[in-house]
Homo-oligomer: A and B are copies of this chain.
Amino acid sequence: MLGGGSWATALTKILSENGARVDWWLRSKDDVQHLLRTRHNPRYLSAVQFDLHRVFPTTDLEDAVEEADWLVLAVPAAFVQPVLDKLDRDALKHKRVISAIKGMIPGKNQLVTDYVADRFKLGRHQLGVIAGPCHAEEVALEKQSYLTIGSPDSELALEFCGLLRNRYVRAHPAADLDGIEYCAVMKNIIALTGGVAHGVGYGDNFLAVLVSNAVQEIRRFLQAINPQPRDLSASAYLGDLLVTAYSQFSRNRTFGSMVGRGYSVKSAQLEMNMVAEGYYAVKSIFELNKKLKVHMPITTAAYRVLYEKVSPVVEMELLKDQLR
């Protein structure tokens, strides 16, 4: 498990409580020491107690990776490249890699699984993605949750589902790796734009229309970049979008809402002391779409607000005429 955030913490809980050994790489020495001393992650889901006979926190990346059959990526998208580039190019040769990341490699506009495949010369049968409507906080509370493992390799997907399933987690396999991964990225754009609209003063009626139109926008984009039949009302797509767009706690929504209320992008980021993944996702998807030329009014509006400094009020006025 690579990553020390809430999602990494939740997945480590699920996997280890199912009996798996988890070598857990965290960047922060302090956090690792706290985990070893107290069995709790000091910063995320701190109520969860880990069994240190199964969970082995470490800051030594090579050590964590070396013996593992599976690599689960749960660092922020912006850190994938700096972290993984420390590993030898053949370090993942016989491993299977599951991405739990909801963002793209910045600057490259590349899916995380595509980057990993390129860098480590992995076949697509070695790759998967975890998706599903899943607040990590609710996993910590052991609330019923549903995950989807997307992989072109159905055996890989089924096997990883088996590692996740427990009393409160249902998991099922799906073949559409790329579609699920793109959708997980794009839902943050929608949550962010929903936040902008909220900040400007739009209400629940508008949000419901925005999310409905978002499903259509995501479908058009996926059909252009990776055409294949897919039902976007499956919970890996629509469910994931809903849990994010309707969450009061979503960082993307909060960030968007501050921008909508008139904060500059920079001051919203400073105020939040972090960067919302959706901020980068907007740029990646917008740039990818320059070639595809899909009609994407929501992503375009978000791009213009975040990167071209168009007034959120003006841009939402323009957007509302393109929705129905």
Q: Which one of B141, B203, B237, B243 lies within 8 Å of A141 (CB-CB)? A: B203
Render A202-233 as a binary contact track against B, CB cut-off 8 A, 1 for contact.
Answer: 11111111011101100100000000000111
Not counting A144-B202, A215-B238, A216-B233, a sample of 7 additional A-B residue pairs whose C-beta atoms are within 8 angstroms of each other reads: A135-B203, A143-B202, A144-B203, A146-B206, A208-B238, A209-B239, A212-B234
Asked whether A324 lies within 8 Å of B212 as measured between CB atoms, the reply is: no
The 8 closest A-B pairs by CB, nearest first: A133-B208, A143-B203, A215-B233, A208-B243, A208-B239, A212-B239, A212-B235, A145-B205
Q: Does A247 contact B (CB under 8 A)?
A: yes
- Chain B residues contacting A243 (CB-CB under 8 Å) are 204-205, 207-208
Chain A interface size band reads 35 or more
Per-residue CB contact flags for chain A residues 158-189 toward chain B (1 = under 8 Å, else 0) read: 00000000000010100000000000000000
Instruction: Report the minimum CB–CB distance from A291 to chain B (whole Å).
Output: 25
Residue of A138, A143, A208, A239 ringed by the most chain B CB atoms within 10 A: A208
Determine the residue in chain B with the shortest Cβ distance to A236: B212
Asked if A209 contacts B235 (CB within 8 A), the reply is yes
Residue numbers in B under 8 Å from A234 (CB-CB): 212, 216, 324
Q: Is residue A134 contacting chain B, with contact meaning CB distance below 8 A?
A: yes
The contact sample of 21 A-B pairs, CB cut-off 8 A, is: A133-B208, A134-B205, A135-B203, A138-B203, A143-B201, A144-B205, A144-B206, A145-B206, A146-B205, A146-B209, A170-B323, A208-B238, A208-B242, A208-B246, A212-B234, A212-B238, A212-B239, A212-B242, A215-B238, A219-B233, A242-B246
A23 at the interface (CB under 8 A from B): no
Q: Inside 8 A of A139's CB, which chain B residues have their CB?
A: 205
A277 on interface, CB distance cutoff 8 Å: no
Q: Which one of A141, A207, A212 has the highest number of Cβ atoms from chain B below 10 Å of its Cβ?
A: A212
- A211 cross-chain contacts in B, Cβ below 8 A: 238-239, 242
Q: How far is the CA of A215 from the CA of B211 in the complex (A)?
A: 14
What residues on B are CB-neighbors of A138 within 8 Å?
203-205
CA distance A239 to B210 in the complex (A): 8
Distance in Å from the Cβ of A153 to the closest Cβ of chain B?
Answer: 20
B233→A232 contact, CB < 8 A: yes
Q: How many copies does the complex hold?
A: 2
Does any Cβ of B come within 8 Å of A320's Cβ? yes
| Complex Cα gap A213–B206 (Å) | 23
Least Cβ–Cβ distance between A9 and chain B, in angstroms: 16
A33 vs chain B, min Cβ distance (A)? 32
Contact A320 B170 (CB under 8 A): yes
Chain B contacts of A216 at CB under 8 A?
231, 233-234
Which residues of B sit under 8 angstroms from A135, Cβ to Cβ?
203-205
Taken together as a complex, chains A and B put the C-alpha atoms of A138 and B197 apart, in Å, by 14
Expressed in whole angstroms, the Cα–Cα distance for A215 and B237 within the complex equals 12
Residues of B near A141 (CB, < 8 A) are: 203
- Taking the closest CB of chain B, its distance from the CB of A246, in whole angstroms, is 5
